[in-house]
Each structure stands twice: as structure tokens, then as C-alpha cells.
A = this chain, B = another copy of it.
Amino acid sequence: MNPVAETSTMETIQTTRSLTLVQAVTDALGTMLAEDDRVMLLGEDIGKNGGVFRATEGLQEKFGEDRVIDTPLSEAGIVGSSVGLAVNGMIPIVEIQFLGFVYPAYEQIATHVTRVRMRTMSKYTVPMVIRAPYGAGVRAPEIHSDSPESLFTHMPGIKVVCPSSPADAKGLLIAAIKDPDPVLFMEPMRLYRAVREEVPEGMYEVEIGKGKKVTEGDDVTVITWGAMVPVAKKAVEKAKAKGIQCDFIDMRTLFPLDRDIIAESVQKTGRVVVVHESHETTGVGNDILSIINKTSFLYMKAPIEKVTGFDVPVPFFALEDEYLPTPKRVEEAIEKVYTF
């Protein structure tokens, strides 16, 4: 739970500050802009306006208009030109205003961001980060609330990261920026200002590809990430009150998934609930099933339960609470696997 413990570069860390998740993002961006002149921020309204969620607040003023760039309204242009920037020595960090608006850039991501290294046998690489708020639950206008991680976990060549806490957000974002390969960094919009946490100052990394045990328990493994962490947590607490002890995992990285943390937990409990916000079909939840099938078949005591967004488009906000997993649905699932 203590991010400092996971830090690879410790020397600069002395103090902490209480930050929200979005402030932690800003902190990470500022840290890396200061650290490495090749880092550039590109996006719509990220300069003067500081981003529609204020994730880049103050950064243009501090680092200048050639480092923090207000771009035209053009996702394919932003990502496509960032490919050119990257192969020619820069480290572009792209903000997509809402992850559901990344689709116009999907072509650039699926055939270029992810394939330049392969096509050139590592002569050219794309150390790019695409960050974006994602998810429902804030009464945003329609089509602002998608959670399309599956489209990226499926396309080889990009890592997918999704923090749920301020300290993780900063450490994972720094790790993503330092990563030599492209990373999609999903920021749970709903948690931007929902929690505060002590976040170490200065430079530190949280390792990509490692999940985090939130609570320990022997009865049921509960796996989730991002905005669903607090939702599942409520259910885990309720279950505890009823005597069911959950091993509760925040995945943090969606590709590559942390197979070891899953297998270790599942082999202990034999009962699993996976919770995610995106649609069930071809969701990342099924990748977790696949890992369990491979690693822990003989340990399973009950069919795995999934609590996910339904196989319907994310609805208008009047129905979004019905679309989203709720603590109640998670709790029911925990009981179901427990009593199987």
C-alpha cells in the first residue's frame, strides 16, 4: 500500500503532499517535463485552459508553449504527429479529452503507434503516452463515458494502465512516460477528485504490470481496477461484515496483466469475482478468466462471477447508474461464488 516501498528511484523522495488523483497526474507531468526536455504535452485545451479537468493546470505557463501545446481539434492529427515526434526523438504525452473520443485516432494507434517498433525491428520506437479520463458516473453528456480498454489490450504493442489512487497515478504515469514503448494511461474521471492521499514529492515509479493487494482474505478473490475499486471495496466490506474474507486486488495494469498476483490469490481462494465497468463481452474480465483457466484450473471451487457494464452502449446519464456495477451487484456475486 505504500508507494514509496515500490519506488525504484528513491533518493529524491523525502516528503509527501496530500493530492487528489488529478493533482497527482499534474504532479507527474510537471515532474517529467522538468526532468526531460524531450517530453512534450499535446492535446485539446490543455494549455491556457489547463485541460477540461485541469490535469495540465499551470504547466504551459511553467514550461512554455513549445512544450505544452494546445492542438487543433484533431485526434488523428495529434496522435499521428506524435508518432513523427516520437521517432524523431521526442517523448509526446497526448491528452485525449475523453477516452471515448479516441476512436478517430484508432487507426493511428492500431497501425502505427503499436507497430512502428515491429515494422522497423526496433530501429524506430514510439515512447508515447496517451492519457485520457474514462468512464461513467459523473452525469456527463452522452458519449463522454466509455471505457474501451479492450480495444487496446487486444492490439499488441501498447501497454494499458489504469490507476485508482493518487499515489499510484503519479508513480504509474512517471513509469509510463519513462517506458520505451507506448502506454495508454486511463484516468478514472469519477475518482479525479473523489479521494485525497499522501503522494510522495519528486520522482518515483510504480512498476507497470504489477497489481496491488488492497485487502487480504482467504475466501473469495475480488479483482478490479480504476473507478470500480471503491465500488468493489464497499462490497468487500459488506461481505466481511457477513464473515466472508476477500482477497481484493486492484489490477492497475490491464496489459500485461499481473498473472502472478491473480494465480497466487485464486489458488488460495478457489472463488473469484471480477468487476469491471466496460461491457462484458470481449471485456478484459475474460482475459482474467483465461489466466485462471491456464494457471489454476484444478483449484477452482466455483464458476467465476463477473460483474460488469452490460453489453449495451454506455447510456445517457439518467440510466448510467443502472449500467454501472454497484456494490450490491458485487456483493451478490461474492455471495454467489462463496456459497456455490
Task: Kindly state the separation between the CA atoms of A100 and B286 in the bound complex, as whole angstroms.
Answer: 24
Tell me if A287 and B293 are in contact (CB < 8 A): no
Which residue from B76, B111, B114, B154 sits with its C-beta under 8 Å from A283?
Answer: B154
| Chain B residues whose C-beta falls within 8 Å of the C-beta of A328 in the assembled complex | none
A216 within 8 A of B: no
Given A289-B289, A289-B293, do A315 and B118 touch, yes or no (CB 8 Å)? Answer: yes
| Chain B residues whose C-beta falls within 8 Å of the C-beta of A110 in the assembled complex | 103, 148
Closest Cβ–Cβ distance, residue A173 to chain B (whole Å)? 23
A143 within 8 A of B: yes
Given A118-B312, A312-B156, A313-B118, do A282 and B286 touch, yes or no (CB 8 Å)? Answer: yes
Tell me if B143 and A111 are in contact (CB < 8 A): yes
- Chain B residue with the shortest CB-CB distance to A340: B297
Closest Cβ–Cβ distance, residue A318 to chain B (whole Å)? 12
A248 within 8 A of B: no
- Chain B residue with the shortest CB-CB distance to A284: B282
Which residue from B114, B289, B302 sits with its C-beta under 8 Å from A313?
Answer: B114
Closest Cβ–Cβ distance, residue A108 to chain B (whole Å)? 8
Q: Digitize A307-328: 1 where CB-to-B-CB distance is under 8 Å, 0 elsewhere.
A: 0001111010000000000000
- Chain B residue with the shortest CB-CB distance to A296: B303
Tell me if A103 and B107 are in contact (CB < 8 A): yes
Closest Cβ–Cβ distance, residue A25 to chain B (whole Å)? 25
| Chain B residues whose C-beta falls within 8 Å of the C-beta of A312 in the assembled complex | 118, 156
Closest Cβ–Cβ distance, residue A254 to chain B (whole Å)? 9
Given A107-B103, A304-B293, do A115 and B313 touch, yes or no (CB 8 Å)? Answer: yes
| Chain B residues whose C-beta falls within 8 Å of the C-beta of A315 in the assembled complex | 118
A306 within 8 A of B: yes
A106 within 8 A of B: yes
| Chain B residues whose C-beta falls within 8 Å of the C-beta of A37 in the assembled complex | none
Tell me if A150 and B142 are in contact (CB < 8 A): no
A89 within 8 A of B: no
Q: Digitize A174-197: 1 where CB-to-B-CB distance is under 8 Å, 0 elsewhere.
A: 000000000000000000000000
Interface residues of A in 119-168 (CB under 8 A from B): 119, 142-143, 148, 150-151, 153-157
Tell me if B293 and A281 are in contact (CB < 8 A): no
| Chain B residues whose C-beta falls within 8 Å of the C-beta of A293 in the assembled complex | 289, 303-304
Tell me if A156 and B311 are in contact (CB < 8 A): yes
- Chain B residue with the shortest CB-CB distance to A118: B313
A279 within 8 A of B: yes
Tell me if A154 and B111 are in contact (CB < 8 A): no
A104 within 8 A of B: yes
In the assembled complex, 22 residue pairs joining A and B whose CB atoms fall closer than 8 Å, in A order, are A103-B110, A106-B106, A115-B143, A118-B312, A118-B315, A119-B313, A150-B282, A151-B151, A154-B279, A154-B281, A154-B282, A155-B279, A156-B312, A156-B313, A157-B313, A282-B282, A282-B284, A282-B287, A286-B289, A289-B293, A294-B303, A297-B300
Q: A106-B106, A155-B279 are in contact. List 15 more A-B contacts (CB 8 A).
A: A103-B111, A104-B107, A114-B313, A115-B313, A119-B142, A150-B151, A151-B151, A154-B278, A154-B281, A157-B313, A281-B287, A282-B287, A285-B290, A289-B293, A293-B303
